[in-house]
Copies of this chain bind each other. A is one copy, B any other.
Amino acid sequence: MSSQTRVKKDKEIIGEYETQVKEIRNQLVEQFKCLEQQSESRIQLLQDLQDFFRRKAEIQLEYSRSLEKLAERFSNKIRSSREHHQFKKDQHLLSSVNCWYLVLNQTRRESRDHATLNDIYTNNVIVRLAQISEDVIRLFKKSKDIGIQMHEELVKVTNELYTVMKTYHMYHTESISAESKLKDAEKQEEKQFSKSADLNVHLLRHEDRPQRRSSVRKIEKMKEKRQAKYSENKLKCTKARNDYLLNLAATNAVVAKYYIHDVSDMIDCCDLGYHASLARTFRTYLSAEYNLETSRHEGLDIMENAVDNLDSRSDKHKIMDMHNQVFCPPMRFEYLPHMGDEVCQVSAQQPVQTELLMRYHQLQSRLATLKIENEEVRKTLDATMHTMQDMLTVEDFDVSDAFQHSRSNESMKSVASETYMSKLNVAKRRANQQETEVFYFTVSTSVIPACYR
């Protein structure tokens, strides 16, 4: 191996190491960037959530106020109508009017609940989000400080490795050079030996001998010196290699520890409490929404109960009670005998007896005919009424289908477009209902006056 290729090899080795260290440093920089991006994303997310809930709170307040105004408008109307129309004073006793009042109550309840939602968003959820944002900023800073310390340590360790590697290389170079010098000396010594052996064979001149001896001693001295130098360099090299090998193992351990544990710990530091605090914020939001729902549900149940209690019979009696003097039956007409007439019963002696009996029989037969006729009419009326009742109590109020959108992602359909409430269906049903009604009235009025005849 020539000296030139040797130098090149050294440079390559150092270059390879330097590249590897550079890559690690780049990674460390990128890791900070990545954590910074994550923090920024979180701060952005928290800012978005705050903006979102600020606007949602406003929407809740607008909604709440609209509902309140709506309820108030009609409550005022009811109040003034009660003050001005005596007969409306007890209207709330009627089951239908009661339902209307409960619709207004429910509206007021919704209004209050959405105002509460506004309050919770504004004074609780947003405050929490702002705090989490502060926490993210503070913890990122602290984590970065710790990260910087760890990175500095990594740099220090890799620099040290570089140093000990170079030291090893240096001592190894020196060791090689000492070795070659020693080998040179050994070669010279060997040459000297073979020369003196030659001379011994060929008659050596006496005056030449001391000269040759001093030269041999000189070579031996040099060889000893070079031997010492070589041993010294070899020891230095061994120590340097040991140092390098130990440092190498330590550095690999530190780097591995950093990548496997410390980076993760650093991220944990950034994350400290983030998920827990965010969860508590969302749970506050959920608690508010669930409670709103419970309150709504309670109100709707009250309303449903009132609808169950819609009762025409009881309302009719209440109306008749309210207007008692209008509906109470009058006194019977008393028999008013003329001028001391003491007869106060139907006189059925002769000669009126025959006539009375005749009239009685006529009436009896008339009554029998009417009874039969009425029975027929009654049957028709009952059947018609039954049909009408079926029409009137048909269960056409379930609108669940309209809320199915969320399970499938299809575009919503208008409720009125195809269900029971489609214009065609409504028109058909109403025509049918009114036809039945007309028939009912025709049949029943054909009978009512008969009672009075």
Report the separation of the CA atoms of residues A112 and B413 in the bound assembly, to the nearest whole angstrom.
11
B70 lies within 8 A of A55 (CB): yes
Q: Is A377 close to B, CB under 8 A?
A: no
Q: Is A184 close to B, CB under 8 A?
A: no
A441 lies within 8 A of B267 (CB): no
Question: For residues 33 through 47 of chain A, which have their beta carbon under 8 Å from a beta carbon of chain B?
Answer: 34, 37-38, 41-42, 45
Q: Give the copy number.
A: 2
A48 lies within 8 A of B311 (CB): no
Find the B residue at minimum CB distance from A35.
Answer: B319
B326 lies within 8 A of A120 (CB): no
Q: Known contacts A66-B62, A70-B52, A119-B414: does B23 contact A399 (CB below 8 Å)?
A: no
Find the B residue at minimum CB distance from A239.
Answer: B352
B403 lies within 8 A of A245 (CB): no
Q: How many residues of A contact B (CB 8 A)?
A: 194
B74 lies within 8 A of A52 (CB): yes
Q: A88-96, A200-208, A366-374: which lies at the B interface?
A: A88-96
Task: Give the top 3 A-B pairs by smallest Cβ distance, nearest first.
Answer: A123-B416, A153-B452, A259-B329
Q: Which residues of B contact A296 (CB under 8 A)?
A: 289, 293
The 8 Å CB contact of A331, one of B20, B283, B396, is B20
A338 lies within 8 A of B168 (CB): yes
Report the separation of the CA atoms of residues A290 and B397 in the bound assembly, to the nearest whole angstrom.
12
Q: A341-357 interface mask toward B, CB cutoff 8 Å, 1 = contact, 0 = none?
A: 10111110001100110
Task: Provide 6 A-B residue pairs closer than 8 Å at the C-beta atoms, listed in order of the A residue.
Answer: A52-B74, A96-B275, A127-B416, A259-B330, A280-B393, A287-B398
Q: Is A278 close to B, CB under 8 A?
A: yes
The minimal Cβ–Cβ distance linking A446 to chain B, given in whole angstroms, is 11
Q: Known contacts A31-B327, A330-B23: does B264 contact A286 (CB below 8 Å)?
A: no
Q: Is A150 close to B, CB under 8 A?
A: yes
Q: Is A400 close to B, CB under 8 A?
A: yes
Q: Known contacts A339-B9, A406-B112: does B279 contact A27 (CB below 8 Å)?
A: no
Report the separation of the CA atoms of residues A444 and B146 in the bound assembly, to the nearest whole angstrom.
9
The 8 Å CB contact of A241, one of B24, B62, B343, is B343
Question: For residues 271 through 312 of chain A, which have their beta carbon under 8 Å from a beta carbon of chain B?
Answer: 271-300, 303-304, 307, 310-312
Q: Which residues of B contact A343 (CB under 8 A)?
A: 238, 241
A291 lies within 8 A of B400 (CB): yes
Report the separation of the CA atoms of residues A436 and B230 in the bound assembly, to the nearest whole angstrom.
62
